[in-house]
A = this chain, B = another copy of it.
Amino acid sequence: MLPQPVLERLCRIRILLQELAEKRETIDSSALAEITGISANTIRKDLCHLQGLSGSKSGYSIKDLSTSLEKNLGLGTEKKVCVVGLGRLGSAILSYPGFLPAGYLLKAGFDADINLIEIIRTDVPLFPAYQISEQTRRLEIDFGILAVPADAAQKSADRLAEGGVKGIINFTSSVIRVPENIAVRNVSFLHEFDMLSAIISRM
Please report A residues at the B interface, Cβ cutoff 8 Å: 1-2, 7-8, 10-12, 14-16, 19, 35-37, 73-75, 79, 81, 88-89, 91-93, 95-96, 98-99, 102, 104, 142-143, 150, 166-169, 173, 175, 181, 183, 185, 187-203
10 A-B pairs, CB-CB below 8 angstroms? A12-B191, A15-B173, A74-B200, A75-B198, A98-B190, A102-B190, A166-B200, A183-B195, A183-B199, A183-B203
Q: How far is the CB of A164 from chain B (nearest CB, A)?
A: 12
Is A175's CB under 8 angstroms from B98's CB? no
What DSSP secondary structure best describes chain A's contact surface?
helix
Copies in the complex: 2
A92-B89, A96-B89, A183-B200 given; A11·B167 CB < 8 A: no
Nearest-CB residue, chain B, relative to A98: B190
